[in-house]
Structure 1
Amino acid sequence: MKQPLFRPYRWAVIYSVILTASVSFTLLDTFVLPKSLADASFTSPPSTTVAGSSGSAASSWEDVSAAAETETVSQSKAVITDTSYEDENVKISIETVRKYDSTLYVADIQVSDPSYLKTALANQTYGRNITATTSDIAEENNAIFAINGDFYGFRDSGYVLRNGVAYRDTARSGDNDALVIDKDGNLSVVSEGEVSMDSLSEQGAWQVLSFGPGLVEGGSIVVDSSSEVGKAMASNPRTAIGQVSELHYMVVVSDGRTSESEGLSLLQLAQELKDRGCTVAYNLDGGGSSTMYFNGEVVNKPTSGRSIGERKVSDIVYIGY
């Protein structure tokens, strides 16, 4: 008589248990378990020398220290209201608009130097499943204004260049747009499949974010009524950034997926940015990630459609010293 362990169905059960455990671990490792891959706590502004490059990185510390003192004085003289901030280097005004059966929050931003347009990673760490809310990342970096970024950690591919440091040089497959912010603070949209990360760095890229698509290029809308991100719904909470002119930016965040605010299509989002003078504009992560932070408060009403509140994300784009 065969022992129970050697009956064929027993082996099937054991195999199923092992397979289930393996799949569960893979899913946990991919989507849940935090994994730090690089420290992102120090980044030099575009005007200083990055350690490891030609020139003296050490000498830049004196410049940074002197600039920090000047900037502290500037912030202390800032004129701040619930919807605006202005000092000698940064000017931000925020307007709330009802349009397309949705609530839009539009930020008009002007800075005196490209170094005030920054990015930051959650917990100052590049890695897998390293997340925090937009407001927490903003507060950790003393941001005046912030929006969610591209949520790079949700994918294993897509260029990631932040504050001059390349963290991931693997392009996404297919036709995907990346946002490039160069050392002069100018925005441009490129196709990841047509240009390498090395090439972008050599051309002066300071930030590269991978979500998309591009919305406005050369002053013209480049999406249509059928454009969408993956299999997302046609109307969503959205986050987008555009450039009007040198060191002059426009940001639009929309609420969505609620009875009070339907959300925007990509075409509507592009039209809003074009109408406000943007010559280039780019769609960042949306849905439950869409968040605008200003002067210590979350301005919009982030929601996934099921619950109200901020989603934890990988990164932010922000204005600050």
Structure 2
Amino acid sequence: MASPTPNPAETVRYETYTLPQATAHVLTIPSGSGAIVRVGVASGADSLENFVKSSGAIGAINGGYFDPENLLSTSYVVQQGQLVADPKLNDRLMQNPNLAPYMDKILNRSEFRRYQCEDGVRYAITPQNEATPAGCQLIDGLGAGPQLLPALTLEQEGFLAVENGTVIRDAIGYSQPNARSAIGLTEQGDVVLVMVAKQPNNPSNSGISLPALAEFMKTLGVTQALNLDGGGSSSLYYDGKTILGSVDNAGNPVGRSVKSVLLVVPPTP
């Protein structure tokens, strides 16, 4: 959906929600706000704060998956129209024999996209091999997954495999509570960033599962949603403050540097 002319009354807003086992931090970017959601990527890995400092962003959330050993992306990232991260160049991914049966699915995982179209900016959540719409140019793309809405695509994207009724692969513990990050789109063209944080007083059994995250995002009016990297990567920035999603056994917030982020950049004056 294209963005209309900026309306000063439609400003970026931050809200928190108390969930049964977690706290959800929600940043909504109305389609009429004039703010843009774009991709940031590091050559290695960097803190969410440093991504924000170097970009002038007013908000941010952690992005796609990466290998903590070599700091290479395990998904495609496009920035300013250029492919800046290619999972096929990550030997630890491509040469892992345990992943070989799922590689086609892994390389076609869903991504968040920003298009510049004849009628303005459009956002989309789509499989990696989806063609760019006519009259549009792909400006930013961030691979992650699975899709949460309109339906969970765990098996289609190689996160989950079931054989004869038995789970033989569960790459992200989808049914277990954990810190989670996600991005969603509404029918009105708003972008919704969600980071669900664990409870400091219940570090081992708090957070949210992916099915529950999908249901929560429905209550926000989200119709399309993409799961982002979670656990220790989960973090959200707004109004000068970084909120971390994970906690250690003592209940202290913990985070880590990340490969990529989604940045909320204010409109140009």
Amino acid at match of 2:230: G
The offset of 1:94, in angstroms, is 1.5
Q: How does 1:165-180 map to 2 (within 5 A)?
A: 165-170=82-87, 173-176=103-106, 177-180=109-112
The one-letter code sitting in structure 2 at the alignment partner of 1:133 is S
**1:230 equivalent in structure 2:** 171
Give SS of 1:232's match.
Answer: coil
5+ long unaligned stretches in structure 1: 1-73, 75-86
**Partner secondary structure for residue 91 of structure 1:** coil
Task: Indicate yes or no: 2:122 matched with 1:185.
Answer: yes
- Aligned partner of 1:320 in structure 2 is 265
What is the alpha-carbon distance in structure 2 between the residues aligned to residue 170 and residue 302 of structure 1? 26
Identify the residue that residue 309 of structure 1 maps to in structure 2.
254
Letter in 2 for 1:103: T
Contact 2:76 2:86 (C-alpha < 8 Å) held by counterparts: yes
Larger relative contact order (CA 8 Å, sep ≥ 6): 2
The structure carrying a bigger strand percent of its residues is 2
Aligned length in residues: 220
Q: Which moved more, 1:177-186 or 1:252-261?
A: 252-261
Separation in 1, partners of 2:60, 2:233: 12
Task: Give the counterpart of 2:78 among 152, 158, 161.
Answer: 161
Q: Structure 1 residues 160, 223: closer, same or farther in 2, change over 3 A?
A: closer
Residue 280 of structure 1 corresponds to 224
Superposition pairs for residues 69-108 of structure 1, below 5 Å?
A: 88=8, 91-108=11-28
Q: Check whether the contact 2:29–2:35 (CA below 8 A) recurs between aligned residues.
A: no
Q: Which has the higher helix share?
A: 1
Partners of 1:88 and 1:160 in 2: how far apart? 31
Cα offset for 1:305? 3.5
In structure 2, C-alpha distance between the alignment counterparts of 1:289 and 1:135, rounded to whole Å: 13
Which one has a bigger Cα radius of gyration?
A: 1
Shift of residue 303, structure 1, vs aligned partner: 2.6
Residues 162, 139 of structure 1: alpha-carbon distance in 2 compared, 3 angstrom cutoff: same
Contact map agreement 1:243 1:279 (CA 8 A) in 2: yes
* Aligned-pair CA distance for 1:204: 3.2
RMSD: 3.1
Q: Report the CA distance shift for 1:285/1:99 in structure 2 as closer, same or farther (over 3 A).
A: same
Please point out which of 63, 69, 84 is paired with 1:149: 63
Aligned to 2:138: 205
Pair 1:120-2:37 in alignment: no
What is the distance in 2 between the residues matched to 1:175 and 1:98?
A: 35
Does residue 245 of structure 1 match 2:245?
Answer: no
Query: 2:23 matched to 1:136?
Result: no
Using the aligned pairs only, state the percent identity: 21
1:82-102: per-residue Cα shift (whole Å, max 9, x none)?
A: xxxxx8286122221111311
State the one-letter code of the partner of 2:58: I
1:317 partner amino acid: L
CA drift of 1:114 comes to 7.1
Identify if the C-alpha distance between structure 1 residues 229 and 284 changes in structure 2 by more than 3 Å, giving closer, same or farther. farther
Matched to 1:250, the amino acid is: V
Task: Name the CA distance, whole Å, in 2 between partners of 1:278 and 1:211.
Answer: 18
- How much has 1:187 moved relative to structure 2? 1.6
Alpha-carbon distance in structure 2 between the residues aligned to 1:210 and 1:160: 6
CA distance in 1, matches of 2:181, 2:113: 17
TM-score, reference length from structure 2: 0.70
Deviation per residue, 1:102-142 (Å, 9 max, x gap): 111122221447772112123xxxx3xx1111122112211
Q: Distance in 1 between matches of 2:264 and 2:215?
A: 24
